[in-house]
Amino acid sequence: MGFNRVKTVTSREYMMKFIYNLDVVKDDLSDLENKVKEFLVGNEEYIVNRFEELKLQSSNDSDVHESMETEEEIDLENYLNLDYVSNVCKIYEEKHEEIDEAIDKYAKGWSIMTMPKVDVAILRLAIAEIGFIDSIPEKVSINEAIEMAKMYCDDKSPKFINGVLGSYLNDRK
Q: Could you list the residue range(s) of the whole structural domain that residue 112 is in?
A: 3-172
Number of domains within the chain: 1
What local confidence, expressed as pLDDT, does residue 154 receive?
Answer: 93
Give the pLDDT score at 58.
76
Rounded CA separation 92/78 (Å) = 24
Q: How far is CA 77 from CA 31, 67, 132, in A?
A: 20, 14, 23
Please state the pTM of the whole predicted model: 0.89
| Tens-place pLDDT, residues 15-31 | 999 999 999 998 888 88
For residue 24, give every residue at least 6 positions away whose Cβ sits within 8 Å of its Cβ, in sequence order, or none: 117
Q: What is the CATH number of the domain that holds 164?
A: 1.10.940.10
Instruction: Specify the DSSP element, H or E, that contains 45.
Output: helix 44-57
Task: Report the candidate in 127, 94, 100, 129 with the shortest Cα–Cα distance to residue 112.
Answer: 100
Under the banding of pLDDT at 50, 70 and 90, the label for residue 64 is very low
